[in-house]
Amino acid sequence: MDIRLSGVTKIFEPDIVALEDVYLSVDSGEFLYLVGMTGSGKTTLLRLISREYAPTRGQISVGDRNLRKLRQSELPYYRREVGVVFQDFKLLQNLTVFENVAFVLEAMGIPPKLVEGRANEVIDQVGLWRRRFLKPPQLSGGEQQRVAIARAMVNSPSVFLADEPTGNLDMRTSEEIMRLLLSINAAGTTVIVATHDQHLVDSYRQRLVELHNGRTKRDERRGRYFVDGEL
Amino acid sequence: MDIRLSGVTKIFEPDIVALEDVYLSVDSGEFLYLVGMTGSGKTTLLRLISREYAPTRGQISVGDRNLRKLRQSELPYYRREVGVVFQDFKLLQNLTVFENVAFVLEAMGIPPKLVEGRANEVIDQVGLWRRRFLKPPQLSGGEQQRVAIARAMVNSPSVFLADEPTGNLDMRTSEEIMRLLLSINAAGTTVIVATHDQHLVDSYRQRLVELHNGRTKRDERRGRYFVDGEL
Amino acid sequence: MASFRYALRDTMRLLSRHWGLSALTLLTAASVLYILGFASLFAMNMRYMISRIEGALVVQAYMKRGETADQALELTRSSPNVASVRVISPDEALERLRAKLGNQARAVTLLGENPLPWSLEIQVQKVEHITPLVRDLMVLPSVEEVLYSGKLVERLAVISRASAAVSGVVLLLTLLISTLVIYNTIRIAIYSRKEEIEVMVLIGATPTYISLPFVFQGMILGAGGALLAILGLWSTYSSAVEAVRSTLAFVDIIVDRRLLGQFFIFLFGAGATTGWMCSWIAVHRFTSRGMRSR
Amino acid sequence: MASFRYALRDTMRLLSRHWGLSALTLLTAASVLYILGFASLFAMNMRYMISRIEGALVVQAYMKRGETADQALELTRSSPNVASVRVISPDEALERLRAKLGNQARAVTLLGENPLPWSLEIQVQKVEHITPLVRDLMVLPSVEEVLYSGKLVERLAVISRASAAVSGVVLLLTLLISTLVIYNTIRIAIYSRKEEIEVMVLIGATPTYISLPFVFQGMILGAGGALLAILGLWSTYSSAVEAVRSTLAFVDIIVDRRLLGQFFIFLFGAGATTGWMCSWIAVHRFTSRGMRSR
Ligand SMILES: Nc1ncnc2c1ncn2[C@@H]1O[C@H](COP(=O)(O)OP(=O)(O)OP(=O)(O)O)[C@@H](O)[C@H]1O
Ligand SMILES: Nc1ncnc2c1ncn2[C@@H]1O[C@H](COP(=O)(O)OP(=O)(O)OP(=O)(O)O)[C@@H](O)[C@H]1O
Ligand SMILES: [Mg+2]
Ligand SMILES: [Mg+2]
């Protein structure tokens, strides 16, 4: 699905301007890096798309949905089409890795047999097969991050938003995850990755949007990572 | 304070060997990077030093304390000498940035006036002065991370353990934080930083210990970042 | 329905993974339902005793010699407050007297012509109906004398009525408080899971799907609490009945097993219903918070 | 002491930042303390009524003509169950008779020599002491006759005693349940902050420092709940007294303001104490969990 933001501003009470007059157009099946210094508004942008936040001004549409007009009863169904890797993971602490991933499918009413097959497949893809019966507090930071990635992709959403998906991963594992994201993208899913990972951005060149103080500063076809007046 | 681990093994029930027979000696005032792939045992090692975990086998001593013999009533006082930046921040969600940082000093019984001065000083150092009255859920990932750093250093501990302190920070802010850590170190504090940040490690060369599957694999004076058979 | 099976499984998870919380909630529900049951049984027994005492209140109206009871009977029958009325003929009265006298019954035969008047035995619905009735009867020319059980029984009846009123108020209060305590407990318990609930909403679970396990849990805890309360009440009440029988034989206490059974079933239903409703309200708050976009 | 000031400030924070939880806890505490107070007042009044009924129980022992009361007096005085005893001389008895007869008192003067015997008026401590006392007195050769208030009062006394026993049990149960409910509520409320408590332990706060605000909070909520309960009880009780006065003038009810005041102070103290102790136990569990290294 395509994503269009036009004139989006997000102001937090009383006067924190997290995003200001952002225009962004992401076509269906595109892959996009979102970079920018800490506090530049990357997470806010993703949260607006997943409709965790509502914009103060401006319009957002995803596919043929105008998010302003989305009714509350439709929200869960919309969110199932948008897979999100949260920056702070937001895993359910009382469930095992398997249960965390399976939950998304279960909540969609998919029968247990199918759930099990698909959940195990994804857990294997992120390399957590041997950890699948542990709970988040028993996992390393990188392992938790990969659970979050598995959960976001398990129901094959049309839009995939990853907020700092490699922040707790070493270079090698980051690359594996990156290849996974690219394969998801290759299957037609729109992918937006907010990241600070220079190595990744520069190794796998893709469209790159840089935010600076809540405004778009760069939008390049195959951009390189350097932020705010470097070079 | 110096830190000595000898023959330390940590096994999680039933059979996860997170650390195996680790010998590590860090002198008072040293600066040490701890690197290794995800799940290699970095966090576990730091948690053993802060005595969040007890080793399955082996001895750990910090300064003149043998951690095995540390009585429960002494634990809070020991932990005040060890500042920890947790990988998942562990901020108090209901307190503001200022309160989160001030809490450490308050718990030590320091009078309000002094608390305020010192807390504000540290908050300013990590660049959060304008965010000091917000609560963690209102902060970006990188801002939360810097609150965690400020909290760990506010009471000038003798040992400073930072678990992935730049995982959510852009390059430029990471460098600022790194310089901060170095200045803490320069004042005589022993610093251990577990990190995946290649750029940092390679720019500010320091002693580097690499863990691999729970064992020490490298220990170099001024090591470079590359993990597990790279190069 | 896969969803329904998941909900049942998640209910078991909730109960077992947070069994400490579950046990505390269960115990609380059991406690307040026990108090509620206790108050109810007390009130029921009060009502029962009153009806027994009131049933024993009989007004006797004696006619003048030679008069019949027709006039008085008519008056009595027209009153809506009269529960029953019986006409006693002089012959019947004589029979009764004879029976009372026992072995001295022969004396009656010495009386010659039956000197006893016609009379009425009237039962009223409630104590407070006695005084007006007596007044009305006294006015009739055919009535010689009106007798009734007197101050003592009246006074006892007043006490009982007062106690019944008090126990009714207590019952209402207890009901209110029980519901409040159960609601608060469940609400507080669910409060500790609010982050979790909000995360579920974030990853696309519908409020209904999220609520269902909590609602089931509430129902189970409410019903379980009620069951514990019923067991406690049963043993308390049995020993109370036992104690009353052996020491206070003259006091009336309800021993009707069917009535008690119905009451316990009602209590069980009330527990279960309160449980799921409170859960539902409590969890709804957090799901709808998760649904709001800020 | 900076720590103490921090603790006070943090208490206010706990109360205000989680005011929903606080209000629920307060309401719960108030509710159960109200029930507890109600049960206590009921039990107190029962005891009071019994003592009044028992106080009215008088045994009268009449001597044979010509005998003095000395022997009987000695026996009575030696019994520990006797509350008081009065010797009535024939002269005094005559005086009383005269007073009773009123305008027919002249008849007494016709008697000539005082025909009345010596007698004793004995008050016992409790109803059950009457029967043995009567038996003992009857055996004495100097005693002609022993009279006492008879079956009715005895029966009433038995009922009252039974009710007192029941209300005592109810009181105990209510006490138990109140504590349980308050404890559960506080425990569940603190449960939702367990992560926070564990983090505080991790950054070097002592268990005491962490507990103090919770303990204060518990104390405030317990005391506040008690205060609400007392207000409720006060108005309930006042209207009960009013109602009893106007309709059941012959029933004894406690109106001693000092006694009631003391009781309310006691209830207040009990609420506060339960509150802080429960908090302390509940929070202790989580601090000590944070202190254990796994
Ligand atoms: N709920 C909120 N209330 C107030 N301010 C907020 C809130 N959420 C975000 N902000 C502010 O908006 C700014 C942008 O935050 P955002 O999380 O989008 O940054 P980011 O680009 O994701 O940063 P990072 O790389 O550190 O994660 C930050 O300065 C933050 O303090
Ligand atoms: N409490 C626990 N119970 C069971 N296993 C655990 C527990 N804590 C850690 N582990 C396991 O021990 C291994 C080492 O974990 P640790 O957190 O030390 O890794 P790490 O080097 O910090 O990784 P990362 O870079 O991803 O943070 C992991 O595989 C993890 O699953
Ligand atoms: Mg962010
Ligand atoms: Mg780690």
Q: How far is the CA of B197 from the centre of ligand 4 (A)?
A: 13
A52: closest CA of chain C, how far (Å)? 5
> Is A141 near ligand 2, meaning CB less than 6 Å away?
yes
Instruction: Please spell the DSSP secondary structure of C117-165, one letter per residue.
Output: PPEEEEEESSGGGHHHHHHHHHHSTTEEEEEE--HHHHHHHHHHHHHHH
Give pLDDT, residue A231.
43
Give the residue, C140 or D114, on which the prediction is more confident: C140
Q: Locate the ligand 1 atom nearest the alpha carbon of residue A87 and give its number.
A: 27
A229 touches chain C (CB under 8 A): no
Between CA C214 and CA C202 the distance in angstroms is: 18
Give pLDDT, residue A78.
94
Contact between residue A196 and residue B169 where contact means Cβ atoms under 8 Å apart: yes
| Residues of chain D neighbouring C20 (CB-CB closer than 8 A) | 191
- Within 10 Å of residue C71's Cβ, how many Cβ atoms? 15
> Mean pLDDT, chain D, as a whole number?
81
Give the residue, C201 or D31, on which the prediction is more confident: C201
The stretch D280-287 carries a mean pLDDT of 90
Contact between residue C274 and residue C182 where contact means Cβ atoms under 8 Å apart: yes
Instruction: Please spell the DSSP secondary structure of chain A, one letter per residue.
Output: --EEEEEEEEEETTTEEEEEEEEEEE-TT-EEEEE-STTSSHHHHHHHHTTSS--SEEEEEETTEEGGG--GGGHHHHHHHEEEE-TT----TTS-HHHHHHHHHHHTT--HHHHHHHHHHHHHHTT-GGGTTS-GGGS-HHHHHHHHHHHHHTT--SEEEEESTTTT--HHHHHHHHHHHHHHHHTT-EEEEE---HHHHHHS--EEEEEETTEEEEEETT-----TT--
Neighbours of chain C (3+ CB pairs under 8 A): A, D
Contact between residue D40 and residue D239 where contact means Cβ atoms under 8 Å apart: no
B104 touches chain D (CB under 8 A): yes
The stretch D133-161 carries a mean pLDDT of 72
CA nearest ligand 2 atom 8, residue:
A138
CA nearest ligand 2 atom 17, residue:
A140
Its ipTM equals 0.82
B15: closest CA of chain D, how far (Å)? 15
Between CA B136 and CA B98 the distance in angstroms is: 11
Q: For each of the domains in chain D, give its residue range(s) and CATH number, in order of start.
A: 2-53+156-293 (no CATH), 58-148 (3.30.70.3040)
> Is A42 near ligand 1, meaning CB less than 6 Å away?
yes
CA nearest ligand 1 atom 4, residue:
B138
Give pLDDT, residue D240.
81
Q: Choose the residue to mutate in B35, B40, B161 for probing ligand 2, maximizing ligand atoms within 8 Å of C-beta.
A: B40
C158: closest CA of chain D, how far (Å)? 7
| Residues of chain D neighbouring C182 (CB-CB closer than 8 A) | none
Between CA D192 and CA B140 the distance in angstroms is: 25
The stretch A30-41 carries a mean pLDDT of 92
Q: How far is the CA of B202 from the centre of ligand 1 (A)?
A: 29
Give this prediction's pTM: 0.81
Which of A21-30, C123-132, D270-279 is predicted with the least confidence, judged by mean pLDDT? C123-132
> Is B16 near ligand 2, meaning CB less than 6 Å away?
yes
Ligand positioned closest to the Cα atom of A39: 1
Q: Which residues surround ligand 3, an ion (CB under 5 A)?
A: A 43, 87; B 140-141
Between CA C282 and CA C180 the distance in angstroms is: 12
Contact between residue D93 and residue D119 where contact means Cβ atoms under 8 Å apart: yes
A158 touches chain C (CB under 8 A): no
Confidence bin at D86 (pLDDT 50/70/90): confident
The stretch D23-41 carries a mean pLDDT of 85
Between CA D72 and CA D138 the distance in angstroms is: 10
> Is A214 near ligand 1, meaning CB less than 6 Å away?
no
Backbone conformation region of residue C229, classed left if phi is above 0, alpha if psi is from -120 to 50, else beta? alpha
Burial of A115 (0-12, 13-18, 19+ CB in 10 A): buried
Give pLDDT, residue B231.
44
Between CA D74 and CA D78 the distance in angstroms is: 6
D167 touches chain C (CB under 8 A): no
C204, A108: Cβ pair inside 8 Å?
yes
CA nearest ligand 2 atom 6, residue:
A138
Strand order in the sheet with A3-12: A16-26, A3-12, A57-62, A65-66
Give pLDDT, residue C151.
59
Task: With residue B19 as reference, give the H or E element that holds it.
Answer: strand B16-26
- Within 10 Å of residue C291's Cβ, how many Cβ atoms? 17
**What residue of B is the nearest CA neighbor of A14?**
B134
Q: What's the DSSP call for residue D118? A: P
One pLDDT digit (tens) per residue for chain B, 231 residues: 899 999 999 999 888 899 999 999 999 999 999 999 888 999 999 999 999 999 999 999 999 899 999 998 899 999 999 999 999 999 999 899 999 999 999 999 899 999 999 999 999 999 999 999 999 999 998 899 999 999 999 999 999 999 999 888 888 888 988 998 999 999 999 999 999 888 889 988 899 999 999 999 888 888 788 755 444
Mutate which of C203, C212, C284, C291 to disrupt the A interface (most A C-beta within 10 Å)? C203
Confidence bin at D151 (pLDDT 50/70/90): low
Give pLDDT, residue B182.
93
* Chain D residues 122-161 within an 8 A CB cutoff of chain C: 155, 158-159
Burial of D93 (0-12, 13-18, 19+ CB in 10 A): middle
Give pLDDT, residue B33.
94
Q: What's the DSSP call for residue D103? A: G
pLDDT along chain C (294 residues), means of 10: 83 82 83 85 78 72 80 80 82 76 62 75 76 80 75 64 75 81 81 87 91 91 93 88 73 80 91 91 88 80
